[in-house]
C-alpha cells in the first residue's frame, strides 16, 4: 500500500514528463516527415527509385519508424493519464446535503 501512495504522489509528475516527451516526439516526427517529403526523389529519380535501380534516402526510410515511435509514446502518455485519473481518490468524501434545491 505504501508503494501505491508513493506512485500516486509521483504519478502526476511522471504524467507531465511523459506528456512532454510525447509532445517532443510528435514535433520531431512532423519535422522528419516534412524533411522526408523534400528528400524524396523527383522527376527521373522517382522513376529509377520505383524500378528499384536506386535506394530510398535514409530519411525517407526512417520517417515511418519515427512516426510510429511518436504515436506509441503519445498513446502511453494518454493511457498513463487515464490510469491516474481513474485511480485518483479524493482525500475527503464530499458531505451529502439533504436540502432541496431552490
| pLDDT, tens only, 3-26 | 555 555 577 777 788 888 888 988
Q: In this structure, what C-alpha cell is assigned to residue 48?
A: 529509377
Indicate the domain borders of the chain. Answer: 15-87
pTM greater than the 0.75 cutoff: no
Single out the residue of 6, 67, 13, 10 nearest to residue 36, CA to CA: 67
Single out the residue of 59, 69, 65, 80 nearest to residue 17, CA to CA: 80
Query: For residue 18, what is the enclosing H or E element?
Result: helix 2-39
Please identify every stretch of the chain with a pLDDT value under 50, giving residue numbers as ranges: 1
Q: In this structure, what C-alpha cell is assigned to residue 62?
A: 526512417
> Helices 58-87 and 2-39 meet at what angle, rounded to 10?
150
Amino acid at each position: 500500500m505504501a508503494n501505491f501512495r508513493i506512485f500516486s504522489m509521483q504519478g502526476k509528475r511522471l504524467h507531465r514528463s511523459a506528456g512532454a516527451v510525447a509532445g517532443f516526439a510528435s514535433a520531431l516526427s512532423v519535422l522528419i516527415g516534412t524533411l522526408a517529403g523534400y528528400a524524396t526523389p523527383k522527376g527521373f529519380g522517382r522513376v529509377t527509385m520505383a524500378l528499384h535501380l536506386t535506394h530510398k534516402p535514409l530519411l525517407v526510410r526512417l520517417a515511418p519508424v519515427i512516426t510510429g515511435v511518436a504515436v506509441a509514446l503519445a498513446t502511453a502518455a494518454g493511457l498513463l493519464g487515464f490510469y491516474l485519473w481513474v485511480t485518483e481518490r479524493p482525500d475527503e468524501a464530499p458531505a451529502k446535503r439533504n436540502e432541496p434545491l431552490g
